[in-house]
Amino acid sequence: MPPEQQTPPPRTPEAAQQQHRGEAKPRWTERLHGLGPVIGLVLLCIAGTLLNGDFATLDNAMNVLTRTAFIGIIAVGMCFVIISGGIDLSVGSMAALIAGSVIMFINWAGPASGSPLLAVVMGAVLAIVLGAVFGLAHGLLITKGRIEPFIVTLGTLGIFRAYLTYFADGGALTLDNDLSDLYAPVYYASLAGIPVPVWVFVIVAIIGGVILNRTAYGRYVQAIGSNEQVARYAAVDVDRVKILTYVLLGVCVGIATLLYVPRLGSASPTTGLLWELEAIAAVIVGGTALKGGAGSITGTVVGAILLSVISNILNLTSIISVYLNAAVQGFVIIIVAFLQRGRR
């Protein structure tokens, strides 16, 4: 006769309560981790106010948000790439080449078309198209060419900036004065007291959040980052999704660039320098896992603002040299990566 199966002893209320606590603990840990960037931002704002009274003013807040807009828009696209398990080191150089190309096109199209306004509009469209094309090239090289994202984007980082330097002959490409005045409101104008770049940043972030959390594509991006092989078994078109993430990032770079060009009205070999560092830092400070699979647009937005607040406080208080701002961001990336080492 087969041995009788012994039924497990009934759980006591104390055991059930202990198990419930064990299951609840990770949930609270995750919630606390998600609130980390927000708590950090609040503490930084309090510290900035105490260190310098000029920090807590409306003008300074608008200045911080405007400067955040460019990196924040790029960071929204970078969030998709990192969640999918990729990386893009070329966004700063890409922005520089797009800026130079847009300036050259507008300077040519203004007199050629006889309509400066049409030239500016076409230049803005060109910025987005070029960003999408560059992103598509990255996606194809990574998926079809089977080259690591780090290598592809490291290579194009040098290529993009070298071509801008060539077009500018080592100097700077500058918008004609009349065209620059016509283009200036894209950066300097305000709606309801809020600068245009901030409005665009908010719209891009909302659209990015909807795509990531409310569409099948967003779920596929997270699934690929969590386990690419399982995603393939689940009939997810991994290559297509990855290509789209880089195209999306390229579009975000194009949008950020068309907003940035009227700020100075020129593009030089130093344009967009270290933007990739700031964008990646914003994403990971916002809680996105470096290995992919988890992240949020809201956290990325908070991370971008947090980094801008750090730079703003350093500029207002002169605690350290402004030339060390990039070093601070680098330390932030390393510290956050260290804290994330146990995730996944």
What tens digit of pLDDT does each residue of 182-203 get? Answer: 999 999 999 999 999 999 999 9
Average pLDDT estimate for 203-225: 95
- Say how far residue 323 (Cα) sits from the centre of its chain: 22
Q: Is 287 helix (H, G, I), strand (E, B) or coil?
A: coil
Six-digit token string for 276: 């990739």
Domain count, the chain: 1
Give residue 31's pLDDT: 55
Tell me which range, 52-56, 134-138, 170-174, is most confidently predicted by mean pLDDT: 134-138
Average pLDDT estimate for 290-297: 87
In a domain, 310, yes or no: no
Q: Which of 77, 59, 93, 98 is nearest to 259 (CA)?
A: 98
Average pLDDT estimate for 170-182: 90
In a domain, 183, yes or no: yes
CA angle 146, 151, 153 (to 5 degrees): 105
In a domain, 238, yes or no: yes
Give residue 326's pLDDT: 77
**Confidence bin at 342 (pLDDT 50/70/90):** low
Q: Is 148 helix (H, G, I), strand (E, B) or coil?
A: coil
How many Å apart are CA 155 and CA 149, to the nearest integer? 10
How many Å apart are CA 138 and CA 252, to the nearest integer? 14
In a domain, 297, yes or no: no
How many Å apart are CA 257 and CA 44, to the nearest integer? 28
What's the pLDDT tens digit per position in 79-116?
A: 999 999 999 999 999 999 999 999 999 999 999 988 99
Listed range (7-21, 37-51, 229-243, 262-276) with the worst mean pLDDT: 7-21
In a domain, 120, yes or no: yes
Average pLDDT estimate for 44-52: 87
% of residues, the chain, pLDDT over 70 = 89
In a domain, 201, yes or no: yes
Amino acid occupying residue 57:
T
Residue with tokens 């950066």: 187
CB under 8 A, 24+ apart: contacts of 187-193: 187/259, 187/260, 187/261, 187/262, 187/263, 188/262, 193/62
Does residue 13 surpass a pLDDT of 70?
Answer: no
How many Å apart are CA 277 and CA 307, to the nearest integer? 11
Give residue 27's pLDDT: 54
Tell me which range, 25-39, 47-61, 203-217, 282-296, is most confidently predicted by mean pLDDT: 203-217
CA atoms 162, 165, 169, 175: torsion sign: positive
Give residue 39's pLDDT: 85
Give residue 319's pLDDT: 77
Judge whether 113 and 119 are in contact, CB under 8 Å.
Answer: yes
How many Å apart are CA 51 and CA 44, to the nearest integer? 10
Amino acid occupying residue 87:
I
In a domain, 214, yes or no: yes
State which residues form the domain around 209. 55-273
